[in-house]
Amino acid sequence: MRRMKDSSKSFDCTVRDSLSTIKATHVRLHLLNGTCATAALLASQIELYDVLLGEICGIHTSLARDLARTRMTPGDSERSGLNA
């Protein structure tokens, strides 16, 4: 999920891009399902599943990071600095 590292994009835009990639990949996989299984076809399917897994993993990581940031209030960060 390369786009998650681009700090110039907003979180919402990045997730939206990833969801678009997932949708397009899903369509491509669906189109491949009706054809005869060959080594090249299976390799293509594996690559598409890798894209899906990468995008889903990236979204999960970004959501977890965003959740951690929203849970931390300004008072929490100030107090933790005093205890260090």
Position 23 scores a pLDDT of 96
DSSP letter for 4, please. G
Report if residue 39 sits inside a domain. Answer: yes
Q: Residue for token digits 């990236």?
A: 58
Q: Which residues contact 19 (CB under 8 A, 6 or more apart)?
A: 59
pTM: 0.66
9 vs 35, residue with greater confidence: 35
> How many structural domains are present in the chain?
1
pLDDT tens digits for range 16-56 = 999 999 999 999 999 888 778 899 999 999 999 999 999 99
Report if residue 84 sits inside a domain. Answer: no
Domain that holds residue 57: 9-70
Contact (CB, 8 A) for 14 and 6: yes
- What DSSP element (H or E) covers 10? none
Give yes or no for residue 75 having a pLDDT over 70: no
